[in-house]
A and B are shown apart, each in its own frame.
Chain A
Amino acid sequence: MDQIKDQLAKELSQAASLEEVEKIRIQYMGKKGSITNLSKTVNFGAMGPEERKDFGRRFNEIKTWADQALAQAQARLRQGGGAAGPMPVDLTLPGARGSLGSLHPITLVQMELEQIFQGMSFIVGQGYHVESEHYNFDALNIPGDHPAREMQDTFWLTNGMLMRTHTSANQVRMIEAHGVPLRAIFPGRCFRYEAVDASHENTFYQLEGLMVDRNVTISHLIAVMKALLSQVFHRPVTVRLRPGYFPFVEPGFELDCQCLICEGVGCKTCKQSGWIELLPCGMIHPRVLEAGGVDPDQWSGFAFGLGLTRLAMMKFGVPEIRLFNSGDLRFLEQFPAAV
């Protein structure tokens, strides 16, 4: 063993390049190297237990020594101790990108929100884009002559159905499908008949959610919304709740979030108000619960709606809503492939 050790030390001291050191390493420590093979050349069967132990100790010693000696020789040569050429790797070159694609910005926001809500034990549903008047309006306490219908200019189909104007259309469907108690969100595509410009689209995404249980209160609604927004923005948020009118909730609220750009002082983003209107929400109207076959004297709940498209615009600083459905890869490729 000592013989091998001396031989290795000698060869290493003579090595003039990293390539030579590597050759020496393979010769001694490689898979079939002379040090590696030491254990194979010994007849363990002929040894006593003490002898075996002693051999093992010395074998490990020489391996450790050899590793160190090799590393020292490499270091010496790297520092210019040998006739080394230029460095083999230019550390300053740009990194080579893998062949990643990209997820749609709406998908990114949606997946993240799904994770947040699943963490709060909400299930995820989806509903239908082509809906009946019943689920989109009537079951939501928006009868035919209700002025709220005109707030949502509707694409009608020739067969009397419609393109859902909001994900709220899935509220009663979810209650019918799963019964109560229920905690659910349902993200998806919605449609409004309106002219497309930089801030209006006829095709956009919302995420609706609801919770129905015994004795769900306004206090719960506020707390869950705060928890949601803190997770969305990765920081504690200040919110305010004010009256808002939606026929399918009572009371109805607009939940504003203190502007995260100016901390409430007032800036361009919040139109100097210090607040961003973010979440229409409210306590589910008893007629909506009834439409889902739930007794409003026994159960109560809250519902809320998030504009996924709007959230994506905020999150990624997208000033132009038309880009989302454009198929323009110069825009889409900027988004990451993973959530």
Chain B
Amino acid sequence: MKISLEWLGEYVDLSNLDPQRIALELTMKTAEVEEVHLVNCHLDKVVVGEVLSARPVEGREGLTWVEVGLGGEILSTVCGAPNLRLGMKAPFAPPGAVLAGGARVEKTVLAGLESQGMLCSAKELGLGEYHEVVMDLPESTPAGKALKDLAPARDHLIEIDNKSVTHRPDLWGHYGFARELAAIFGRELKPLEQVDLKGFDNLPAFPVTVDDFTLCPGYCCLLMEGIRPAPSPLMMQWRLHAIGLRAINLLVDLTNYVMYEVGQPMHAFDADWLKAVRVAPLGAPGEFTTLDGQARKMLAEDLMIWNEKEPVALAGIMGGLHSEVTPATTRLLLEAANFQPGCIRRSSVRLGLRTDASQRFEKDLPQAFMPLATARFLRLAAQAGQEPKVKSRFSHVGDLGLTRRSLRIPADYVPRYMGQELSLAETARILGAIEFGCRQDGEELLVDIPPHRSRRDIGVRQDIVEEVARFYGYDNIEAKLPAVAITEYGFNDILRAEHKLRRLLAQGRGYSEVHAYSWHDDRWLAKIGWEPGESLTLANPIAPYKSRLRQTLMPNLLEMIPQNYAQRDEIKLFEVGRVYAPAGGGSRETTRLGAVAFSAGGQAELEPLFLEMKGLLEDAAQVLGCGPLELKPGRADATAWARAGAHLEIWQGGVRRGELGYLSGPILEAFKSNAQMAWLEMELEELPLLAYPALEVSLPSAFPGSWLDFSILWPAAKGYAALATLLDEYQDDLVQERQFVIAYSGRGLDKGVKSYTFRYWIGLADRTLTKEDIDGCKERFLGFLAASGLQIR
């Protein structure tokens, strides 16, 4: 929204104030200023011209040859504007004038006719963007008069961030900003001149009924005659163009001008056929054609303005096609109403129809704006030389919002909440400057809320603090750190576990942390051949194939592998993230660790890759302190990535916590041909993370021990675990620990046979081992191997 400083000058004297300073003060005390625009009007040499003759240029459709009277001199020009008419007054730029955009007007010959200047649109004068028509000046404007004597050549527009005034409907018009600036700079705010509406009290009322005052808390209207579709006064047009609107004719301009002055949208109905107004929802779904000619699908709850049994306007949003005022209209009904913000907002959002009016009604306009706008309309019309004949009394139903609301707050509340000393007198002075009343009543302060402030804006005592504090200056509040009592809270176990895992993987295992999206891409799921079960689903996804929330981290992690192929042969990435499962109409959200390791090194890389992942899991269990994890064979083909024989389940405390494995089978087709991949996914929720004692250390022996290495031959097909189980049977007082070192197959060994090297740590608790001890142990173990049918390498 753009606010014109020139316009504001009508209500408050802003002379000697730098526009940048005004912008800064508004930003610091009222609302965020996004930018200050300079309006530079090109009025030099431009004069008021009168169209003395106009005839179409033969053979050149749309062009008119015009003789323009300049109060004596007559010049001719060729003009393409569609709104030319005989006797019209318009700005005329003679040769030598420089217009907005830098074009210099020259004498030319156009279509064989001499053009000695040009009639100007608002844009050509540097006002706004509207250039389709030439500016249509009031009849009374004297021809030949220099335009720079009639209108200012410069203005500054303060562009306000609309979001920052969502709660301030009083700031959706210039007068509201004038009020703020008057308070900020301690200058006088000129009252708005109004016509006294009581003067019409002896006239008959126009019939109005409102079905539901919660949807329409107030409705006012006035019947009038005698407003002709003439051009508006130059300054009214100037201001409307400057802030980016377009001047059309006095009636339309007046309603817009009042809306941008006080913030109240108005609507004019053709009263020649409007007999009575009723405000009520449509009642049944149907169609309604708005004045822009669009037929719109309506719902039963859309609030309408009815003429007896026919809906004539979409309340607070847009009029209907047939209720529009036309040049033939002689009587009109001027509406100033108040609608429930939510009701207007719902209809306008659903219909995709955002108008200046709906934007304001959505913000809970104060009802007091209704009589104010009506009285201003009449006054401005009179100033434009078109005093309408009022034919009804000021007819209204509902609340006019003229009863002042008040709030009672403890007398010391404002400084206490600010944390800053502030006298009662200063509080009262600040509040007084923005028209709040303030009176001490014993231990309390009685604060009187001015009618132009909305209920949504000023409703609780903290709102009063805001009013005082912002004018006091937030930066004038001294910063003081609070003194606090220490409170005992529990640890955030999951977060600590998350961070432990992040450190382990990044620092200890060389993994890179990634963030994947919370939803799947169905196109990728199809590619890896996996379909999730029942999922939480977005009603309005970014794309139709991105609607299902992830219940596992794996697919999205796997999806990140191919894009990284090009740069590397090894990829290790992980995510600590949330997964989401439907749960009884709601959702169950848990935190998981997911990791993927990729190698392009061929089949030989697969086992080491998987074993590294398995080792990672053991490390994870150790840093998490969740106690030993049990690995069990995975269920057959649980998912596309967890295939029978190629994955293990992770169990802890009798609960399945996750899985790990390597990719095999059809899913590999989604990746490079030589891709080897291992993966791990584990849920952290409900893992016992803070076991006590955290671990039981074994004391280092005072007597040095020794070790013995054995390489045992074993059929590879039987697997390591079977060998380990067999070796478990060996009992010896000297053996403290058995450690697996390496498995080997290949040269020097028969096909299908692997050599598994184990290191046996031996020692005694009460003395140093002797050579005899060691040799004895070795012999006993070799004996066990022989008895078990095992050979050593």
Interface residues of A (CB under 8 A from B): 99-104, 106-107, 111, 114, 121, 123-126, 128-130, 132, 143-148, 150-151, 155-159, 161, 163, 178, 181-183, 189, 191, 193, 196, 202-203, 211, 213, 215-220, 222-224, 226-227, 240-245, 247, 250-254, 283, 285-287, 300, 324-330, 332-333, 337-338
B598 to chain A, nearest CB (A): 11
Please, which residues of chain B bring their CB within 8 A of the CB of A121?
Answer: 484, 486-487
Q: Which 5 A-B pairs have the closest CB atoms?
A: A145-B342, A217-B419, A219-B419, A327-B560, A251-B466
B416's contact among A100, A217, A223, A253, by CB below 8 Å, is which?
A217
Is B462 in the interface zone, CB < 8 Å from A? yes
CB of B581, distance to nearest CB on chain A (Å): 10
Q: Which one of A106, A114, A159, A220 lies within 8 Å of B536 (CB-CB)?
A: A159
User: Distance (Å) between the CB of B342 and the closest chain A CB?
Assistant: 2
- In the assembled complex, the CB of A60 is this many whole angstroms from the nearest CB of chain B, namely 27
CB of B307 within 8 Å of the partner chain: no
Question: When each residue 305-339 of chain B gets 1 if its CB lies under 8 Å from chain A and 0 otherwise, what string results?
Answer: 00000000000000000000000000000000000
Q: Is B83 an interface residue (CB 8 A)?
A: no
Per the bound structure, the CA–CA distance linking A193 and B539 in Å amounts to: 11
Query: Which residues from chain B contact A156 at a C-beta distance below 8 Å?
Result: 538-540
* C-alpha gap A100/B582 in the complex (Å): 37
Q: Contact: A126 with B494, CB < 8 Å? A: yes
What residues of A have a CB within 8 angstroms of the CB of B541 in the complex? 155
Q: What are 28 inter-chain pairs, A to B, with CB distance below 8 A?
A: A102-B513, A104-B514, A106-B515, A114-B495, A121-B486, A128-B589, A129-B580, A129-B589, A145-B345, A155-B540, A157-B536, A161-B536, A182-B487, A218-B418, A218-B419, A218-B469, A219-B418, A223-B482, A241-B475, A245-B167, A250-B460, A250-B466, A283-B417, A286-B460, A325-B515, A330-B567, A337-B507, A338-B506
How far, in whole Å, are A146 and B363 apart by their CA atoms in the complex?
8
Starting from the known contacts A147-B341, A243-B32, 14 additional A-B residue pairs (CB-CB under 8 Å) come to A101-B507, A101-B510, A147-B345, A155-B541, A211-B482, A217-B416, A219-B418, A222-B477, A222-B479, A240-B475, A243-B31, A327-B515, A327-B573, A330-B567
Q: Pick from B22-30, B107-115, B379-387 the stretch touching chain A.
A: B22-30
State in angstroms the CA–CA spacing of A67 and B418 once bound together.
Answer: 72
**A157–B537 touching, CB < 8 Å:** yes
B780 → A minimal CB distance (Å): 32
Q: Are B515 and A338 in contact (CB under 8 A)?
A: no
List of A residues within 8 angstroms of B166 by Cβ: 147-148, 151, 245
Contact of A243 among B470, B509, B539 (CB under 8 A): B470
Q: Is B198 an interface residue (CB 8 A)?
A: no
Residues in B whose Cβ lies below 8 Å from that of A245: 163-168
Q: Which of B363, B482, B514 contacts A147 (CB 8 A)?
A: B363
Which chain B positions have C-beta within 8 A of A332?
A: 512-514, 573
Interface string of B541-564 (1 = CB under 8 A from A): 110000001000000000110011
Tell me, rounded to whole Å, the shortest Cβ–Cβ distance linking B274 to chain A: 29
The residues of B that contact A102 with a CB separation of less than 8 Å are 506, 512-513
B775 within 8 A of A: no
Say whether B481 contacts A123, CB under 8 Å: no
Task: Check B494–A223 contact: CB distance below 8 A.
Answer: no
Residues of A within 8 A of B489 (CB): 123, 178
| Cβ B513 vs Cβ A104 within 8 A | yes
Does residue B681 face the partner (Cβ distance < 8 Å to A)? Answer: no
Q: Are B538 and A158 in contact (CB under 8 A)?
A: yes
Alpha-carbon distance between A147 and B540 when the two chains are bound, in angstroms = 20
From B30, B341, B462, residue with most partner A Cβ within 10 Å: B462
Q: Which residues of A contact B530 (CB under 8 A)?
A: none
Q: Which of A191, A216, A222 has the most CB of B within 10 A?
A: A222
Given known A107-B502, A250-B460, contact A163–B484 (CB-CB < 8 A): no
- B564: chain A residues at CB < 8 Å are 327-330
CB distance from B505 to the nearest CB of A (A): 6
Q: A residues within 8 A CB of B341?
A: 145, 147
Q: Is the CB of B563 within 8 A of A163?
A: no
Q: How far is the CB of B303 from chain A (nearest CB, A)?
A: 13
Residue of B nearest to A333 (CB): B512
Inter-chain contacts of B537 with A (CB < 8 A) = 157-159
The answer to whether the Cβ of B586 comes within 8 Å of any Cβ in the partner chain is yes
Contacts of B589 in A (CB 8 A): 128-130
CB distance A213 to B484 under 8 Å?
A: yes
**Across-interface contacts of B492 in A (CB, < 8 A):** 123-126
Q: State how many residues of chain B have any CB contact under 8 Å with chain A.
A: 89
CB distance from B550 to the nearest CB of A (A): 11
Give bound CA distance, A107 to B513, whole Å: 9
CA distance A163 to B559 in the complex (A): 23
Chain B residues with Cβ below 8 Å from A213 are: 482, 484
CB proximity of A279 to chain B, nearest CB, Å? 13
Is B21's beta carbon under 8 Å from chain A?
no
Partner of A111, one of B417, B499, B505, B563: B499
- Does B513 contact A286, Cβ atoms closer than 8 Å? no
Q: Considering the chains assembled together, what is the distance between the CA atoms of A155 and B540 in angstroms? A: 6
Q: Which residues from A are CB-within-8-Å of B429?
A: none
Give A286 to B494 CA distance when docked, in angstroms: 31
A161 to B481, CA, bound (A): 39
A161 near B586 with CB under 8 A, answer: yes
- Asked whether, in the complex, the Cβ of B30 is within 8 Å of the Cβ of A243, the reply is yes
Q: Which residue of B lies closest to A204 (CB)?
A: B515
Q: Which residues of A contact B502 (CB under 8 A)?
A: 103, 107
Distance in angstroms between the alpha carbons of A216 and B465 in the assembled complex: 14
Minimal beta-carbon separation of B495 from chain A (angstroms): 6
Interchain CA distance A130-B535 in the complex, whole Å = 13
A143 to B364: give the CA distance in the assembly, Å: 13
User: In residues 455-489 of chain B, which contact A (Cβ within 8 Å)?
Assistant: 460, 462-463, 465-466, 469-470, 474-475, 477-482, 484-487, 489
A219 to B466 CA separation, bound complex (whole angstroms):
13
- Expressed in whole angstroms, the Cα–Cα distance for A132 and B29 within the complex equals 35
- Contact A283-B462, Cβ < 8 Å, known A156-B538, A218-B474, A245-B166: yes
Q: B516 an interface residue at 8 Å Cβ cutoff? A: yes
Complex contacts, A219 vs chain B, CB 8 Å: 418-420, 477-480
Q: Establish whether residues A328 and B536, one from each chain, have CB atoms under 8 Å apart when the complex forms.
A: no
B751 within 8 A of A: no
User: With contacts A100-B506, A102-B513 known, is A130 near B539, CB below 8 A?
Assistant: no
Q: Is B101 an interface residue (CB 8 A)?
A: no
Is B703 close to A, CB under 8 A?
Answer: no
- State whether A220 touches B419 (Cβ < 8 A): yes
Residue of B nearest to A181 (CB): B487
Provide the residues of chain A in CB contact with B485, threshold 8 Å.
Answer: 181
Interface residues of B in 496-532 (CB under 8 A from A): 499, 502-503, 505-507, 509-518
B458 to chain A, nearest CB (A): 10
- B568 contacts partner chain A, Cβ-Cβ < 8 Å: yes
The answer for the CA separation of A327 and B575 in the assembled complex, in Å, is: 10
Let me know if A163 and B481 touch, CB within 8 A.
Answer: no
The answer for the CA separation of A311 and B564 in the assembled complex, in Å, is 26
B346 within 8 A of A: yes
Interface residues of B in 571-602 (CB under 8 A from A): 571-573, 578, 580, 582, 585-587, 589
Please indicate which of the listed interface residues B345, B349, B487, B568 has the most CB atoms of chain A within 10 Å of its own CB. Answer: B487
* B266: Cβ under 8 A from any A Cβ: no
Instruction: List chain B residues, Cβ under 8 A from A128.
Output: 587, 589
Asked whether any CB of chain A lies closer than 8 Å to the CB of B378, the reply is no
Contacts of A100 in B (CB 8 A): 506-507, 510
A328 to B505, CA, bound (A): 18
Nearest A residue to B541 via CB reads A155
**Contact partners of B480 in chain A: CB under 8 A:** 217, 219-220, 223
Task: Determine the chain A residues whose CB is within 8 A of the CB of B474 once the complex forms.
Answer: 218, 222, 240-243, 253
Q: Mark B96-132, 1 if CB is under 8 A from A, else 0.
A: 0000000000000000000000000000000000000
- Residues A242 and B27 in contact, CB atoms below 8 Å apart: yes
Contact B539 A251 (CB under 8 A): no
- Cα distance A249–B514 in the bound complex, in angstroms: 34
Contact A223 B481 (CB under 8 A): yes
On whether the beta carbons of A101 and B484 are closer than 8 Å, the reply is: no
| Contact with B511, one of A101, A130, A196 (Cβ below 8 angstroms) | A101
